[in-house]
Amino acid sequence: MIAPVDKRIQSVKDLKERVRAVGENEVARILVCAGGGCLASGSDKVIDALREEAGIRDLDIEIIATGCMGLCAEGPVILMTDNMTFYQRVHPDDASVIMSEHVQGARTIERLVARDANGERAVPCLNDIDFFQKQTKVVLRNCGRVDPESIDDALEAGVYQALGKTLSELLPNDVIEQIKISGLRGRGGAGFPTWMKWNFTRQTPADLRYMLCNADEGDPGAYMDRSVLEGDPHSLIEGMAIGAYAIGASQGYVYVRAEYPLAVERLQKAIDEANEHGLLGENILGSDFSFNLEIRMGSGAFVCGEETALIASIEGRRGEPRPRPPFPAQKGLWGKPTVLNNVETYANVPSIIGNGADWYAAFGTEKSKGTKVFALAGAVRNTGLVEVPVGTPLGELIYDIGGGIVNNKPFKAAQLGGPSGGCVPKEHLNVPLDYESLSELGAIMGSGGLIVMDDDACMVDVARFFVEFVQEESCGKCVPCRVGTKRMLEILTRICDGQGRIEDIDRLIELGEFIQQGSLCGLGQTAPNPVLSTIRHFREEYVEHIRDRHCRAGVCPSLVRAPCQSACPAGVDIPGFISLVGGKRYSEALQLHRNRNPFASVCARVCFHTCEEKCRRSTLDESVSIRGIKRFMVEQETEMQLPEIRTNAANAAKKIAIVGGGPAGISCAFFLARLGYKPIVFEKEPRPGGMLVQAIPAYRLPRETLAREIRMIERMGVTIETGKALGRDFTISELKEQYDAVFVGIGAPDGIRVDLPGSDTKGVDDAMTFLRQYNIRGSVPVGSNVVVIGGGNAAVDAARTAIRLGAERVTILYRAYARRDAGLCRRDRGSPAGGCPDRIADFS
């Protein structure tokens, strides 16, 4: 095709004139995000409505459909370029008010702007919003800012200037040297140095070379390539052209997923426009360099993300990987030297050439340079695309940019790198996101998929999910991958079904290592990663599934009758007693509760009720107030009823000793009594109850409530002797001689002292000591200005107690990310008026 002369840019000098000068007058614009997420939320209707309103009012304003702006959770989103106001959750009906108030009235529309992390202050300006302000956009610099369907817009934004610089100032080896200095590593997988790959290809003697782009973004959870393809296709074209010049290629292909029809459409349009403008094709910008680019669509095979499989697919064959060497750099497409890089890798290239390699190398860490785009998804508030310098801590990404976990649930793990990667548990929230650090944890950067999980995720089930995916996507060529992942899947399925065996864990590890070593391509070599990673960081969960047939997340159907029951440490039949309460059968409900836990009244007041966090009702509106129902239930018991006791003369004749009269010891006595035994409990303190009387203040747990339940247990045949201390009044040896069995339930009475300078000085106490003195003696010295470190229940009890004892000011210090654990989240029913919250301040 002969390009029309009037559009063709003839020289580098002409190209430079296409850039919009800084401060140059431009028509005001409304940029509407038309990325995949916002389109799904209806942004195309917003665009239509805005254009209609602009037409009605005859306004001189451009309404542009852009690529992804990144904040998918708040879509549809728009950006007003006159003052960089960012509006969220825009509805087509808002078009009228946007035009009349913002465009014509120059007023900000308050209800559409972002709020700060606390939801209090309006943050209208894009650059002030944490989600955007804390990012560094290199790859995504034009996404959401330029019209992806207009090459003129791209040229005005400076796209193709790096290509012009390349052709006029640099030799091919100079380009490779710049890429080397920049430290750019491939962004699609393991991070191989880009310059090295280019250099190998260039050095291989050949009459033809190929430049390929891997846009087969198969990782579930990754969509940054889509964002570039749809939002800034010209940067990709420019990056590939520069690379082709560097290695001496005249033909390129972009292999795009079939699932991305819009990306294919926009990229093709961009290629056509680039050809018309002389930026692709013969004699680019009037130089000797020629480069043609074509699209090849993928057809739905994950393995084609592997380079030799992708090449086979372009050649029209089954996408089966082949052994290397020879590497594609020597023998690739049609047997010629070939470079294959990821979309994101190419999108970095123009910035490196344009701004200088040193500029790029200034981002990141010593070994991992530049920025990385992450697709932040899962149980995080601000889902979307995030670009940060390599080495940014994971926690910063999740909490500062991502806004924390949905519903303030605890962070459990993040899966990085999709089915080829691994999980990072919360102990490693500080891990810098670079290739080396993640590798040490058994994870990979991969393409940048980042799935955040809260405690509703079962790590065994997640591992099974990934193995199932890999099993289905295996090309079937080699046995370790095809058969090995099948065996792993069978084992994991057994474990999730409650049929696991304890040796399964070691068998999975052995299988995983074998598959890693024996597989031909990257798919098989990385397939075991999610399993090995979850075993490494969450082995206890595997053990629970196998040994206890218990899924604490409430996910595995065979192991979970109801998620709330699964979450209860005592395994109380919550659906059962709630149904009975609903039928007004209160005594039966209480009996059902006591089958698993004798302290129904106590727990109705002080239990931290993890069951409510798992309640299925919260997917409709809110969790059922399970603890509240329990309290109502116990209050219906006017006359203490005794649980069923199986009278057994033989058991009654046995002598059982229990050391410790706390919850464990008393519960043990309770269950033994129900079987007909008559155990004796030895308690050191004047009153039984352990932590229930020593640590929990009476205003939270009235003493009569506890005493009543202990009396019930005594009436079942249990003897409790107080003032009897182990080591002083008896020894274990003596008990063994006198009794048939001895249960030791001394609990964990000591607090943990903070390892801080000065923590052993006068005036510094741990909460347990403080609360015990108060609860046993009724009084303890307290200063006027008290600081409590930590946000748990003991901390809040200590704070409230200090105020009751006359402290003028009490401050709680706790970690921001742990807010959910703070006792502050719950007002205890029955707490006296004028209680603590008004007097407690908190600092993050």
Partner 1 sequence: MAEEKTCCMCSQEVTDEEMIAQLDELIGEYIKQPGGLIPALQTVQSRFGYLPESVLLKISRMFDKPYSEVAGVVGFYSFFSTVPRGKYTVRVCLGTACYVRGGKEVLSAMKKELGIDIGETTEDRLFSLDVGRCFGACGLAPVIMVNDDVHQRVNPSKIGEILKAYAVEEPQEEGVAV
What region does 279 belong to: left with phi over 0, alpha with psi -120 to 50, or beta? alpha
Residue 192 interacts with partner 1 (CB under 8 A)?
no
Please identify which residue in 65, 80, 163, 222 interacts with partner 1, judged by CB under 8 A.
Answer: 222
Provide the token pair at 142.
């034009």
By beta-carbon proximity to partner 1, the closer residue of 42 and 835 is 42
By beta-carbon proximity to partner 1, the closer residue of 184 and 451 is 451
Find the helix packing angle between 343-355 and 224-231, rounded to 10°. Answer: 60
Please identify which residue in 239, 370, 378, 598 interacts with partner 1, judged by CB under 8 A.
Answer: 378
Please identify which residue in 95, 139, 280, 375 interacts with partner 1, judged by CB under 8 A.
Answer: 375
Residue 416 interacts with partner 1 (CB under 8 A)?
no
By beta-carbon proximity to partner 1, the closer residue of 297 and 543 is 297
Residue 52 interacts with partner 1 (CB under 8 A)?
no
| Residue 486 Cβ vs partner 1, minimum distance, rounded to whole Å | 18
Instruction: Evaluate whether 328 touches 209 at the Cβ level (below 8 Å).
Output: no
Find the helix packing angle between 484-496 and 529-543, rounded to 10°. Answer: 20
Please identify which residue in 264, 438, 556, 624 interacts with partner 1, judged by CB under 8 A.
Answer: 264
By beta-carbon proximity to partner 1, the closer residue of 299 and 844 is 299
Provide the token pair at 184.
């750019």
List phi, psi (to 5°) of 514.
Answer: -65, -45
Residue 338 interacts with partner 1 (CB under 8 A)?
no
Instruction: Evaluate whether 122 touches 114 at the Cβ level (below 8 Å).
Output: yes
List phi, psi (to 5°) of 373.
Answer: -95, 130
Residue 514 interacts with partner 1 (CB under 8 A)?
no
Instruction: Evaluate whether 62 touches 97 at the Cβ level (below 8 Å).
Output: no
| Residue 165 Cβ vs partner 1, minimum distance, rounded to whole Å | 30
Residue 206 interacts with partner 1 (CB under 8 A)?
no
Please identify which residue in 131, 363, 469, 577 interacts with partner 1, judged by CB under 8 A.
Answer: 469
Residue 335 interacts with partner 1 (CB under 8 A)?
no
Please identify which residue in 20, 180, 269, 426 interacts with partner 1, judged by CB under 8 A.
Answer: 269
Rounded-to-integer distance, Cα 791 and Cα 398, Å: 21
Rounded-to-integer distance, Cα 775 and Cα 796, Å: 15
User: Contacts with partner 1 in 224-253 (CB under 8 A)?
Assistant: 226
Question: Which region among 353-361, 461-469, 532-540, 643-651 touches partner 1 (by CB under 8 A)?
Answer: 461-469
Nearest to 243 by CA among 205, 293, 287: 293
CB atoms < 10 A from the CB of 731, how many?
A: 11
Please identify which residue in 3, 14, 16, 42 interacts with partner 1, judged by CB under 8 A.
Answer: 42
Rounded-to-integer distance, Cα 819 and Cα 815, Å: 7
Residue 607 interacts with partner 1 (CB under 8 A)?
no
Side chain identity at residue 813, one-letter code = L
Computed over its alpha carbons, how large is the radius of gyration of the chain?
33
CB atoms < 10 A from the CB of 165, how many?
A: 17
Nearest to 660 by CA among 548, 746, 787, 730: 746
Residue 72 interacts with partner 1 (CB under 8 A)?
yes
Rounded-to-integer distance, Cα 289 and Cα 217, Å: 30
By beta-carbon proximity to partner 1, the closer residue of 29 and 464 is 464
Residue 259 interacts with partner 1 (CB under 8 A)?
yes
Q: How many residues bind partner 1 (CB under 8 A)?
A: 64
| Residue 820 Cβ vs partner 1, minimum distance, rounded to whole Å | 19
Residue 445 interacts with partner 1 (CB under 8 A)?
no
Please identify which residue in 316, 686, 763, 778 interacts with partner 1, judged by CB under 8 A.
Answer: 316
Provide the token pair at 592.
């059902």
Rounded-to-integer distance, Cα 595 and Cα 570, Å: 10
Sequence-ordered strand ranges (E) for 20-121: 29-33, 62-66, 78-80, 85-87, 114-115
Residue 217 interacts with partner 1 (CB under 8 A)?
yes
Binding site for partner 1 (CB under 8 A): 36-37, 39-42, 44-45, 72-73, 75, 217-223, 226, 258-261, 264-265, 268-269, 295-302, 313-320, 334, 375-379, 383-384, 415, 418-419, 449, 451, 453, 457, 462, 465-466, 469, 473, 475
